[in-house]
Structure 1
């Protein structure tokens, strides 16, 4: 496999382990992709010794084209193959030039909140500013609990997603699209945090209330150096000995 892509393979592998460490994809379902050029992407593939996202290494990240074929010689050697839901990634990348990375995960709290009729809303403030701002813009829900295994179904999901960064998949999980691998993962983590808090509030007999407009207007933008760079270093730090 091409050596020049090694740092990007490591980045995508780290992202998979972060999702697992956060409980968003703690089994062997879920995947992360990164656009390489107009026709190719790096994506987590499954090999003959699949163990789950928590054990992802750079060798599991393979270069494929938008149709799921090897993006370069040897990329799918050794019994590796792209995920069944590769169209979930490629359809986003085909239709959203603003997106560089796609995350698909199965967070139980996100699924449970949606099935309970609880939308992802801006219920907190300074507790999690990026997640609050994301929720304030709306988190749509794709209403079909299906495996998104072809372009038709992926097109339905993308249409539901519109220009939003995250879409909840009913009875399934979520898709997060970002300008970087780091932002796509951190968005998913933020949505999961809001879902978990919402379930706790409702379970305690409380009522969910959106942050007042005045408070929303007073929330500062701490910038990508803090919201993304520092947050990502924290996520990698949490992995500790799990990092390969």
Structure 2
């Protein structure tokens, strides 16, 4: 018998994969998003023989597995393979109970900015308030450009993350963690936009400058209904229109 809660979560994770692809945060078949169901299980995008890419993720591509990569139910992985980088998700979830959702994505602007020696900093304010606050707290870097497919490498990455919501994986991509799938992807969107804008400023011969300290009092948290609710409705509508 199907569990409506699990099925609803599959739909959300699949939707998040399509949003990430429409935003250019992933390309082709690379990248995956997960959601923690309980202390032993998670839902994660898996790959099938007829996989058409992350942009075309279906709810059926989101499979229930155990933290060790085994099927969460009999037959759950029939015709599907678990991502090589499953340890990225499990290690990130295990370091904090608040990390219910993990998005491991490959935004080109973030990779390029990091390789160019650009640190993501709060260079703008009201343009993207959540992004400004993300940068103000710091976006750490995991300095190894490896496929994170072992528990040890994933542990190193999680340690580099240092409790922050996003970590850059040098020459690779990012890992974004949050208590909702939507927030994990929206954080990745903000990180990508910070990187894109930073690259554009530097390419134009400009200098990256952080906003004035006095401006922070006028950059309030506008609340989940706006920051996540309205923003996510837009992202979903945008991704659906692109198809």
Q: Are residues 1:67 and 2:59 paired? A: no
* Alignment-derived partner of residue 24 in structure 2: 23
- Compute the displacement of 1:2 (Å): 3.2
- Compute the displacement of 1:241 (Å): 4.8
Is the 1:30–1:105 Cα contact (8 Å) retained in structure 2? Answer: yes
- 1:157-215, Cα deviation, whole Å (9 max, x unpaired): 00000110000000000000001000000000000000000000000000000111101
Task: Sort the Cα spacing of 1:56 and 1:242 in 2 relative to 1 into closer, same or farther, 3 A.
Answer: farther
TM-score (norm 2): 0.97
Question: Aligned pairs, how many?
Answer: 242
- 1:195-239, Cα deviation, whole Å (9 max, x unpaired): 000000000000000111101222121100000000000000102
Any idea what SS the aligned residue of 2:127 has?
helix
Q: Output the CA distance in 1 between the equivalents of 2:72 and 2:211.
A: 46
Q: Output the CA distance in 1 between the equivalents of 2:228 and 2:61.
A: 25
The gaps in structure 2 that reach 5 residues or longer are none
Is the 1:166–1:176 Cα contact (8 Å) retained in structure 2? Answer: yes
Q: Output the CA distance in 1 between the equivalents of 2:49 and 2:172.
A: 25
* Alignment-derived partner of residue 76 in structure 1: 77
- 1:93-129, Cα deviation, whole Å (9 max, x unpaired): 1121111100000011000000000011100000000
- Compute the displacement of 1:3 (Å): 4.0
- Compute the displacement of 1:242 (Å): 5.9
TM-score (norm 1): 0.97
The gaps in structure 1 that reach 5 residues or longer are none
* Alignment-derived partner of residue 170 in structure 1: 170
Any idea what SS the aligned residue of 1:222 has?
coil
Q: Output the CA distance in 2 between the equivalents of 1:172 and 1:92.
A: 17
Q: Output the CA distance in 2 between the equivalents of 1:173 and 1:51.
A: 21
Report runs of 4+ in structure 1 exceeding 6 Å deviation.
Answer: none
* RMSD of Structure 2 on Structure 1 (CA): 1.1
* Alignment-derived partner of residue 12 in structure 1: 13
